[in-house]
Chains A and B, each alone.
Chain A
Amino acid sequence: MLVSRGGLGGIVPPRSYSAFLCWLTVYKRTWRSSIWSSLLGPLFYLGAMGFGLGSLVDKHGTASLGGVSYLVFVAPAILASGAMNTALSEASYPVFGSVKWNRIYIGAQASPLRPGDIFRGHLTFMAMRIAMNTAIVTVFIWAFGAAPSPWVVLAWPAAVLTGLAFAAPIAAWAVTVTSENSFAYLFRFGMMPLMLFSGTFFPLSQLPGWLRPLAYATPLWHGVALCRALSLGSGLHADLLGALGHVTYLAALAAIGIWAGARTYRRRLYV
């Protein structure tokens, strides 16, 4: 009989929680292989971009960065784009593989779990992975003195939200994919341009005017802008409405993904 107790303080419904536990059990076995990239990746980025490139940029004046050092400018962007990267890697191949390779979904499907439970359980695990990786980056940022504002603690949940805004819709799509080649396109033509043109490594003011609206429409720009506002603190006072706008945009994207995922999973698993 089903136990009506939800997991994670009752936030996750009981059936989705049992699907999440499956991923947690697998992760307990495999976390060692991913922990180094989670730790060293952001460390390399902060070091190379913040200190390496930063020492060059800072010599030429940082007015266009809002008067802060390049390290301070780039650190929240590394946080937000790191959230996106974790989301993409957790929501692409693992979702596809759960249908085609290790067939975790197919096994789970024979239990009382419904496609929506399987989806939400896996998404909860993705959120956990995003939260773990972004927590590491947030700690690095703080340790390097790259965040002037104490609000940076809120940059962490902001980054998790950014990650979810990617993970939910991408998982909803990934379950429908018939060939893993689709993910190569996602990474090459989706992740790469976003990574470069979302106000991450240089402010959008450096882009030609006609390109800027395009950048404003991308979710990563909202994530970066939100994390940056929180990390700098100053931006938050100046534009609280803007920050709320970013949150709304990202939350809406995550919500659409969560809504769509229950449907695409059902269509894919119940044939």
Chain B
Amino acid sequence: MPGSHRDDVLVRARGLTKRFGSFTAVDGIDFDLYRGEAFGFLGPNGAGKSSTMRMIGCVSPPTSGELAIFGLDPVRDGSAIRARLGVVPQDDTLDVELTVRENLLVYGRYFGLHRRVIRERTTALLEFVQLADRAKDKVDPLSGGLKRRLTIARSLINEPEILILDEPTTGLDPQARHVVWDRLFRLKQRGVTLILTTHYMDEAEQLCDRLVVMDHGRFAAEGSPRELIERYCSPEVLELRFDPELHESAADKLKDFSAERTEVLADRILLYVRDGDATLAEVRAGGLEPLTSLVRRGTLEDVFLRLTGRRLED
């Protein structure tokens, strides 16, 4: 965990639970977040990630359990905690009738900052998210990627110690995602603690030092991306696609192969093996001819599939 200090716990949760009526969104989770790390909550929609983020953001009181942020109580000291947090919500909450600069001005005033301080920081932040040339433009016509970058700039106006990002790149095109990742990586280098939720495994792999796989309000596993892949996945994965007519019979026959594990998806069959090419040769020798085949390394997607029996984006 580069740059983090294991003795400096910023967020501590024990048995943290959130219920909405009879529905339990977050079911008694424990975690410690340290200063300087990038911590990810990976899971499908409805896993309880956003509810956890809202509790950390002090806008949703926990139903039960303990939660402390900067050692403070989110219910009693919510205001003081939020003064030290930056939040990038899942859906942008920018004021589209205002200009880029005005959005930061209004937001800075929420934090009780002086106009002069806001002006200085705005210039630096717009530079940072590469929006300096759009400062005087209205927000409305900006693309999704630019709006997201503006939201990130806005969330940094109070120089937060923790930046909370709920699905920071959902809905962005690949190029825009890479720009966002690059900026977040730089923030991490500067010592900002990042807490993010995502259902993209590549995002989690790119950004997170440590992550938890969340499902049905609980943690299914916890560790660094590499640790999780080593623990829950074989070194290589052989993906086979057959003629839809033959999909089921092929799946039956493949059970006899010496794979560590086999996953039969609707359109593909995954074999978790040590050596993908060798297994592919065995499959062919056994008289099965796939339409396409792919040998790849194990990913967090495989980890998730193994832990929950479901795919991330289902």
B240: Cβ under 8 A from any A Cβ: no
Is the CB–CB distance between A26 and B95 below 8 Å?
Answer: yes
Stretch from B100-108, B263-271, B272-280 forming part of the interface with A: B100-108
Dominant SS among interface residues on chain A: helix
A29: Cβ under 8 A from any B Cβ: yes
A269 contact set on B, CB distance < 8 A: 59
Stretch from B74-82, B204-212, B282-290 forming part of the interface with A: B74-82
A8 contact set on B, CB distance < 8 A: none
B179: Cβ under 8 A from any A Cβ: no
Identity of the chain B residue whose Cβ is nearest the Cβ of A22 in the assembled complex: B106
B80 contact set on A, CB distance < 8 A: 112
Is the CB–CB distance between B89 and A106 below 8 Å?
Answer: yes
Stretch from A12-20, A40-48, A142-150, A166-174 forming part of the interface with B: A12-20
Is the CB–CB distance between A103 and B93 below 8 Å?
Answer: yes
Identity of the chain A residue whose Cβ is nearest the Cβ of B75 in the assembled complex: A270
Identity of the chain B residue whose Cβ is nearest the Cβ of A4 in the assembled complex: B112
In Å, the complex CA distance between A246 and B93 comes to: 41
Is the CB–CB distance between A270 and B97 below 8 Å?
Answer: no
A132: Cβ under 8 A from any B Cβ: no
Identity of the chain B residue whose Cβ is nearest the Cβ of A104 in the assembled complex: B95
Q: Which one of B60, B82, B110 lies within 8 Å of A22 (CB-CB)?
A: B110
B305: Cβ under 8 A from any A Cβ: no
A113: Cβ under 8 A from any B Cβ: yes
Q: Which one of B93, B102, B109, B158 lies within 8 Å of A106 (CB-CB)?
A: B93
In Å, the complex CA distance between A106 and B154 comes to: 14
In Å, the complex CA distance between A104 and B107 comes to: 10
Is the CB–CB distance between A108 and B110 below 8 Å?
Answer: yes
Q: Report the minimum CB–CB distance from B83 to chain A (whole Å).
A: 4
In Å, the complex CA distance between A25 and B102 comes to: 8
A2: Cβ under 8 A from any B Cβ: yes
Is the CB–CB distance between A114 and B78 below 8 Å?
Answer: yes
In Å, the complex CA distance between A271 and B58 comes to: 10
A3 contact set on B, CB distance < 8 A: 112-114
Asked, given contacts A25-B102, A270-B60, whether A111 binds B95 with beta carbons under 8 Å apart, the answer is: no
